[in-house]
Amino acid sequence: MTIIANRGTTAPTDTPHEIERYPLFDRMVHWGVALTFTYLLLSGMALAYPRLAWLQTWLGGGQTVRAAHPWVGVVFTVGVVLMIVQWARQMRFEPTDREWVHRMRAYTRTGHSGVDVGRYNAGQKGYFWFVVVFSLILFVTGIPLWYPWMLSSGWNQAARLIHHASYLAMLAGFIIHVYMSTVMLPGTMSAMTTGKVTRGWAAWHHPRWLREKEGAGE
């Protein structure tokens, strides 16, 4: 197992050279999922919490929100399925991921684990599968809420409870994801906006992935 020495607390920025991390289609899928989830997040709050019902005004009105929420949920789920098709193979866990988990405390402090990470680290892989699992749970439990006649009142209440708990879990994960992509790890957001990152960022966070791209002549 190769370990990369910790060179400080921030990613090196000594070279302006950029390399592609995400092609256009990957970014479109990512932002499609992000935007639909944001709508579902806000409309779900408006529907679930009376004190937040005022959000419905900003989302087109109460009737629009009730009609749009499940359909946007379908679009969101389609986006997640596309993410699975695009990235599932790259999100398989490997031996170095165990070492990354052991060093996660150092990573949260410095943004660098010291592990020879490939395209994705164990945290990114874990969040990917977290999103996949809970998105599918939200979709399945949302169907009887959309068509309450499908199940008995007891099962509908169970579906509502699971749906709400899954929503809260997704909200917590979303907040952490946004924080890490913007504040905690500078330079990460450009990967999903321009599709490119600096070579220094890649060498700091994903050194093995950088070597593989260089070896492929990219």
Burial readout 94-109 (b: 16 or more C-beta within 10 A, e: otherwise): eebbebbbebeeebee
Catalytic residues: 177
Q: How many helices (H) and strands (E) does the chain have?
A: 10, 2
Burial readout 36-70 (b: 16 or more C-beta within 10 A, e: otherwise): bbebbebbbbbbeeeeeeebbeebeeeeebeebbb
Separation of alpha carbons 218 and 208, rounded Å? 14
Separation of alpha carbons 160 and 156, rounded Å? 6
CA dihedral (193, 195, 201, 202) in degrees, to 10, reads 150
Instruction: Label the pairing between strands 18-20 and 196-198.
Output: antiparallel
Q: Left, alpha or beta for 60 (phi > 0: left; psi -120 to 50: alpha)?
A: left
